[in-house]
Amino acid sequence: MDGTVKAINDDNNATPDLAGRIIAVLEAAGIPEENWTPEILGPADQIHGGGLLQTQLHAALTTITKDMHLLDIGCGIGGPARYFATEFGCIVTGIDLTPEYIDTARILTGKVGLSDRVAFDCGDATDLPYDDVSFDMVWALNVTMNIRDRQKLYSEMWRVLKDGGRVAISELGQGPRGDPYYPLPWARDASYSFLLPPDEMRGMLENGGFRVLEWVDEAARRQAAEKYPPPPTPEVDTPLTIEITRGDDYPERRANSGRSAKEGRLTNVMMVAEKV
Ligand SMILES: C[S@@+](CC[C@H](N)C(=O)[O-])C[C@H]1O[C@@H](n2cnc3c(N)ncnc32)[C@H](O)[C@@H]1O
């Protein structure tokens, strides 16, 4: 097995029987399955820094309709895929490298009654097992940092998208002031973390047949929040945490990400581009 794949799978297997643990926590809290909403599941099944709110903000940068078929690359345990299907009524296929994540995604999706619209495959984003021109939109939420061959990734995204289809990517990039501190949320060390400066990433997408429609980086986010302060998010009482999914050292990893960003060692961007 390729060293990067092994490192990612080892990292993702922090919690054995992940689906069983998530279900046990929800059952112990007395929350019935019909109430396992994206908000209740979010702290454990949205595996990225901004949680469900980040997925919602990103979705608001584009238009998802009921008749669409979305592909979620590096889907983790399926939190964003279930959110898209629940919120917009669309069909979603998720794909991830880690078999245990795919098992967990399928079990949780069955429990919340979405298996007829949300399906999962185990596979590699740089070699997608899908026909050309199959999807209306392709998502990759905090995934690309683990992918060395970006050119191949972007060309696969382009290949499976319908003409005029959109790609939505959120990622952390290499900042101007040196290497970030590890362990980080997506990698315990630099051996499977492949950060690109944001301009380089954008250039690769543009040269690969995409037109950038939305580009929201940290500075743009700060400006928007100052101009249009977001309403307070309602607190949801949920017993789930990101540590259940990612392990007890997750707070240290998240803190390293924050510190690295503050010192200019990491950048982040949410973007949407169109296949031209
Ligand atoms: C930080 S998690 C994000 C999961 C999900 N997008 C979410 O936001 O909840 C990154 C995911 O990308 C997956 N991944 C990394 N490299 C991949 C590749 N080459 N192909 C498919 N999945 C990959 C990892 O297994 C992991 O589940």
For 100-113, write each residue's pLDDT tens digit.
Answer: 999 999 999 999 99
Please tell me if the CB atom of residue 98 comes closer than 6 angstroms to any atom of ligand 1.
yes
Nearest CA to ligand 1 atom 23: 74
Distance, in Å, from the CA atom of 120 to the CA atom of 115, rounded to the nearest integer, reads 9
CB 132 within 8 A of CB 102: no
Q: Beta 210-217 vs 161-174: how paired, if at all?
A: unpaired
**CA angle (59, 172, 219) in 5-degree steps:** 75
Residue 241 pLDDT more than 90?
yes
CA within 13 Å, CB half, 205: 24
First to last CA, the chain: 36
Distance, in Å, from the CA atom of 35 to the CA atom of 238, rounded to the nearest integer, reads 11
Residue 47 pLDDT more than 80?
yes
Q: What is the structure's pLDDT at 2?
A: 85
SS3 state of residue 19: helix
Q: What is the structure's pLDDT at 220?
A: 86
Tell me the pLDDT of the chain averaged across its residues.
95
The Cα-based distances of 87 to 5, 82, 253 in angstroms read 32, 8, 30
Distance, in Å, from the CA atom of 13 to the CA atom of 96, rounded to the nearest integer, reads 13
| Average pLDDT, integer, range 225-246 | 86
SS3 state of residue 119: strand
Q: Does domain 3-275 have CATH number 3.60.110.10?
A: no
Closest CA to 72 of 147, 152, 175, 143: 143
Instruction: Give the model's confidence band at 236: pLDDT under 50 very low, under 70 low, under 90 confident, else very high.
Output: confident
Instruction: Give the model's confidence band at 1: pLDDT under 50 very low, under 70 low, under 90 confident, else very high.
Output: low
What separation in Å is there between the alpha carbon of 75 and the centre of ligand 1? Answer: 6
What separation in Å is there between the alpha carbon of 143 and the centre of ligand 1? Answer: 5
The model's pLDDT over 81-97, given as tens digits with 9 standing for 90+, comes to: 999 999 999 999 999 99
Residue 70 pLDDT more than 70?
yes
What separation in Å is there between the alpha carbon of 79 and the centre of ligand 1? Answer: 12
Q: Who has greater pLDDT, 221 or 170?
A: 170
Please tell me if the CB atom of residue 75 comes closer than 6 angstroms to any atom of ligand 1.
yes
Residue 118 burial (CB count, 10 A): 27
Phi, psi dihedrals of residue 162, rounded to the nearest 5°: -70, 160
